[in-house]
Amino acid sequence: MDRPVTTLFMLVSVDGKISTGATDDLDVDQDFPHIAGLREGLHQYYEIEQTTDLWSFNTGRVQAKMGVNTREMPAKTPVSFVLLDNRHLNEHGVRYFCARSERFVLITSNRDHPAFGVNEDNLHILYQEKVSLKDALTRLKRQFGCERLTVQSGGTVNGLFLREKLFDYVDIVVAPALIGGKDTATLVDGPSLRAKEELSQLGVLRLIEASDLQDSYVRLRYQVIG
């Protein structure tokens, strides 16, 4: 295969939501720790996250929402981060990920992105006039030796991975909560299928592991077979 093996790894509610609401002020990472019945078992998700691939894919929008544009500089980790971003990271956010990453690869179609003004040895910019995840993943493997990649991005970008058949595995931790809301982000968003001819774009899964975790959390692992 000419791209990394990709795994979608996310924390979701029982109804598939990856956020607690439709605004950036609402977020599972910020909100679940304060909700009785959810906070008790939340640590299991973060413990599993520590065992995921050493290449991690996310988006600038998600990371800006998490506050990286103003946070203090972190310690170096062995993880290499890949971020898709056009306008959400500022220069501080770029330097934050340079400090945190073994390698930091930024995918952008913005010629004026602040990353172009940052000079760090571990920063690599993949500029694309029109973003192509398939091409970006091919370059990640060929140029940087990325063999396995964990994806933890937002629902819209997850939808791009799905429609381009770029997921190999899905690994989700299900929190015992119902959130609801038609505008709240789900595991996979983006345009809906409109015709039977589009059903070939579905992601068909085979269950490879189901684990009961503590405090009513569940872990489900699937292989994408179609």
For 100-145, the pLDDT digits (tens) are 999 999 999 999 999 999 999 999 999 999 999 999 999 999 999 9
Is the pLDDT at 219 greater than 90? The verdict is yes
Residue percentage of the chain with pLDDT more than 70 = 100
Q: Average per-residue pLDDT in the chain?
A: 97
Contact (CB, 8 A) for 175 and 42: yes
Helix or strand holding residue 167 (H, E): none
Is the pLDDT at 24 greater than 90? The verdict is no
Model confidence pLDDT, tens digit, residues 166-215: 999 999 999 999 999 999 999 999 999 999 989 998 999 999 999 999 99
Is the pLDDT at 73 greater than 90? The verdict is yes
pLDDT value of position 21: 97
Find where tokens 């692992």 sit: 221
Query: Predicted confidence band at 32 (pLDDT cuts at 50, 70, 90)?
Result: very high
CA distance 44 to 47: 5
pLDDT value of position 116: 98
Largest Cα separation within the chain, whole Å, is 50
Find where tokens 């910019």 sit: 125
**Which residues fall within 8 angstroms of residue 28, CB to CB, at 6 or more apart?**
11, 18, 19, 20, 175
pLDDT value of position 3: 98
Average pLDDT for residues 56-65, to the nearest whole number? 96
Which domains, and CATH codes, for the chain? 5-224 (3.40.430.10)
Distance, first Cα to last Cα, the chain: 16
Contact (CB, 8 A) for 223 and 166: no
Average pLDDT for residues 2-27, to the nearest whole number? 96
Average pLDDT for residues 15-43, to the nearest whole number? 96
Helix or strand holding residue 95 (H, E): helix 91-100
